[in-house]
Amino acid sequence: MQAPAIQQAVHAGRDVNCVPASSQNGVAGYDLVMFDLDGTLADSLDFFLGVHHLLSAKYHFRPIAPHEVEQLRQRSAREIMTHVGLPGWKLPWVVRDFVRLMRRQGQQVGLFAGIAQVLRYLHEQGVQLAVVSSNSVENCQRILGADLCRLMAGMDGGASLFGKRRRINRMLSRLGVRPSQAIYVGDQLSDAEAARAAGVAFGAVSWGYAAPQALARAFPDTTFETVDALRGLADLRRRSPGLPPTAAGTRTA
């Protein structure tokens, strides 16, 4: 289920926050758009919360209470781990079991409404698409389906929660794309950190695991308030050096 505070925005179907302002200076558009899966393309928050409760009992950390969800959406993954008492050394086992449980029990996890249409549109416009996820390639393929998988120039899964930078760099190398020609679209602060470390732009979506206010603190190059706003990636222009984020694809109210 989408986060209640932003559910209407996701389905609004109107581009309200993707302004290719820097197209005025003739900077070339993105040659590659890489997407995170969970919380960005796939509506998996409810599944995550349910599995988190199971895994907290297995690995002895505190479960997330329902009234804490919105509060924790304001925090980074590391802050959430501290809050629930999950030490870093246990994280690989927790992520492994999450992926395994999604493979076995996650048939109800699907794409956000409108994502399939947006991906087809971007592909038709000549945008090169890829997925870089901490989830497994197998889960990515199942959730996307065969038709959408055929639109992807590359798919890389199984990255650690804080190890996406290497996977982003590997995708760039595999497809022969320079970092300055690529953008990574995600829903968590760790996605922003990975994009910055890899030297690519970061696009934040407002309907995922992290709250929009939290992602704003990461100064994304652009923010997408609705799924349909992702269509703007077909002609979005990269921010020129020195321009603030609000002048490069994000419009404030």
Question: Tens of pLDDT along 142-174?
Answer: 999 999 999 999 999 887 767 799 999 999 999
- Which residue range is the domain that position 171 belongs to? 4-43+110-247
Please state, in angstroms and rounded to a whole number, the distance separating the CA atoms of residues 127 and 132: 16
Look up the pTM and report it: 0.79
- Same-domain status, 149 and 229: yes
- Same-domain status, 149 and 123: yes
Confidence (pLDDT) at 181: 94
Burial of 178 (0-12, 13-18, 19+ CB in 10 A): exposed
- Same-domain status, 122 and 141: yes
- Same-domain status, 78 and 195: no
The answer to whether the beta carbons of residues 64 and 49 sit under 8 Å apart is yes
**CATH, residue 28:** 3.40.50.1000
Question: What are the DSSP calls for 75-106, one per residue?
Answer: S-HHHHHHHHT--GGGHHHHHHHHHHHHHHHG
- Same-domain status, 140 and 74: no
Q: In what order do the strands lie in the sheet with 222-224?
A: 152-156, 128-132, 32-35, 182-186, 201-205, 222-224
- Same-domain status, 95 and 156: no
Instruction: Pick 189 or 235 by higher pLDDT.
Output: 189
Task: Give the H/E segment covering residue 119.
Answer: helix 115-124
- Same-domain status, 84 and 175: no
